[in-house]
A and B are shown apart, each in its own frame.
Chain A
Amino acid sequence: MNAIETCQLSLWYGTFQALKGITLEVEQGGITALIGPSGCGKTTLLRCCNRINERIPSVRTTGEIQILGKNIYDADVSLLELRKLAGMVFQRPNPLPMSIYENIVFGMRLHAPPEERTRAVLDQAVEKALTGTGLWDDLKDKLHTPAISLQLEQQQKLCIARLLPLQPEIILMDEPCAALDIAGTESIEQLIRSWKGVYTTLIVTHNMAQARRVSSHSAFMLSGELVENGLTEPLFTQPKDPRTAEYVSGHLA
């Protein structure tokens, strides 16, 4: 079963074609890395999966993306439900300008019916989300301080934690460690690995070592095309396409 399947997906920013007929399958419960040089379209592809690309008015898309068997470009798709299903973590930690607690319950306040938004339910969700991201012990005594005051690593984990109460199936990550130091990167990677079988993770990364450390599958993109995809280890050790070989060996940056 695949969590995400794109079929002949093309995307234009105005007249610039950023994606060229991408057909990719992302295994449910697995961790898939999107790799490739800057500007190859990997972030664009990621941002198609929750349709957040459409914030830019000049974007035009053709093709299909099936998420859990449903084409997200169908007219009857609710963007809000889609975004609940597929949470997104950004390159720069972007906690909302409110308390830690409010950041985590933000999604519930938007989506849950009023009877499920009692104090007790929210409190419990906060504890669960923070425990799930390893923040509870550090933050339990300062839940009502502004999230902006946290260190970057904690901010990024908080941005992950605030997805969890919505019970997503898919987590889309856009270079989630780009702003973090080594320790922060390690601890986020550990978290991602622990999601195997729980969430479907699609992670964009510049860092090939990171792709090898965390992912089971990788997809290599170049100039808007999907060059090669498959299990991570063979893709790195025995690439089929010469362009992949060039990139993973570090000759193409």
Chain B
Amino acid sequence: MWRRWRKLKEAFIEALIRLCGISATIFVVGIFLFVCREAFPLRHNPDFHLTEFFLSIQWYPTSEITKRYGVLAMIAGTFSVTLLSMLMAAPLGLGAAIYISEFCAPRPREILKVLVELLAAIPSVVWGFAGLTITSRLIVRFTSADVGVNLLNGAVLLALMSVPIIVSLAEDAFKAVPDSYREAAIALGATRWQTTWRVLLPAARNGLTAAVLLGFGRAIGETMAVLMASGHAITIPHSVLDPVRTLTANIAAELGEAPAESTHYQVLFLTGVLLFLITFVVNLSAGLVIRRERRS
């Protein structure tokens, strides 16, 4: 009796742990299916055309005369703001990771790592405040822009928000480089920078690429800060000082206003599907890059 009870208990705990293990998969698939389900009725909707969705910059979901649902400008907005942010975040993040892992003394290193983690913990709406009150004013002061909430402003915030991810993942990548490589280079008379540049960067290449890709994934999905601080205008930007609207900001701003089951509502969910697919591809490629490193 006692023995049977113990066996049952063991089986129960095992099942529970297994459930925890696959819960992430269940949630991801579940959310994806839910978002897809809300967008699904668009299939039969005469007001909606997939070509218009992808190729038109006209977004008039509440127009009285003709409603138009083109998100091209917002796709451009999302990618321009994210790519520009990566142009800033990648060098800054990799530079910080190089400093923390290769140049810094052990004690300041620990302090810096804690601070970087703290940076990651700042809520995005607070970043939005910073964007409205600090960076946008700096942009107005130092550039010809009339309004500070624009593509550049959003990109600066996204860069600062994704730097912590890039730093901690890139630092892990450097840590994974065997110390024997460093000793080999140093014993041949290499300086720290020569060691970093000629040996560690090539050796950690895949891990660093993955770090930047995951930072990119973080930036592309960010909503609140860009909603508050990048202007919210539906145009394809021609300069970094133009305002933009991203896919995420658009959903956040409009979903509350869209009547449930309306075409507008469904198109917003379709935008969600699109975002989901983009981040899925970005994260998947980061995973593949890391795997390639493990194999080699």
Is A73's beta carbon under 8 Å from chain B?
no
Determine the interface band of chain B, counting residues with CB < 8 A from chain A: 20 to 34
Q: CB-CB contacts of B174-203 with A at 8 A, as 1s and 0s?
A: 000010111111111111001000110011
Q: Give the distance in Å from the alpha carbon of A55 to the alpha carbon of B181 in the complex.
A: 13
Is A230's beta carbon under 8 Å from chain B?
no
Residue total for A at the interface (Cβ-Cβ under 8 A): 28
The residues of A that contact B194 with a CB separation of less than 8 Å are 110
B106 touches A57 (CB 8 A): yes
The residues of A that contact B118 with a CB separation of less than 8 Å are none
Q: CB-CB contacts of A61-100 with B at 8 A, as 1s and 0s?
A: 0000000000000000001111110011010101111100
A97 touches B199 (CB 8 A): yes
B184 touches A111 (CB 8 A): no
Nearest chain B CB to A97's CB is how many angstroms away? Answer: 5
Q: Give the distance in Å from the alpha carbon of A97 to the alpha carbon of B105 in the complex.
A: 26
A96 touches B185 (CB 8 A): yes
A106 touches B188 (CB 8 A): yes
The residues of A that contact B186 with a CB separation of less than 8 Å are 52, 55, 83
Find the B residue at minimum CB distance from A86. B187
B188 touches A97 (CB 8 A): no
Knowing A94-B180, A96-B199, A110-B194 are in contact, say whether A88-B187 is a contact too (CB < 8 A): yes
Is A159's beta carbon under 8 Å from chain B?
yes
Q: Give the distance in Å from the alpha carbon of A61 to the alpha carbon of B75 in the complex.
A: 61
Knowing A57-B105, A97-B203 are in contact, say whether A110-B188 is a contact too (CB < 8 A): yes
Is A162's beta carbon under 8 Å from chain B?
yes
B202 touches A98 (CB 8 A): yes
Knowing A96-B199, A97-B203, A98-B202 are in contact, say whether A110-B189 is a contact too (CB < 8 A): yes
Question: B-contacting residues of A (Cβ < 8 Å)?
Answer: 50, 52, 55, 57, 79-84, 87-88, 90, 92, 94-98, 106-107, 109-111, 159, 162-163, 166
Some 7 contacts from A to B, beta carbons below 8 A apart, are A84-B188, A92-B180, A94-B184, A95-B184, A96-B184, A96-B199, A111-B189
Q: A94-B180, A95-B184 are in contact. List 6 more A-B contacts (CB 8 A).
A: A80-B190, A94-B181, A107-B189, A109-B198, A110-B198, A166-B189
Question: A-contacting residues of B (Cβ < 8 Å)?
Answer: 105-106, 178, 180-191, 194, 198-199, 202-203
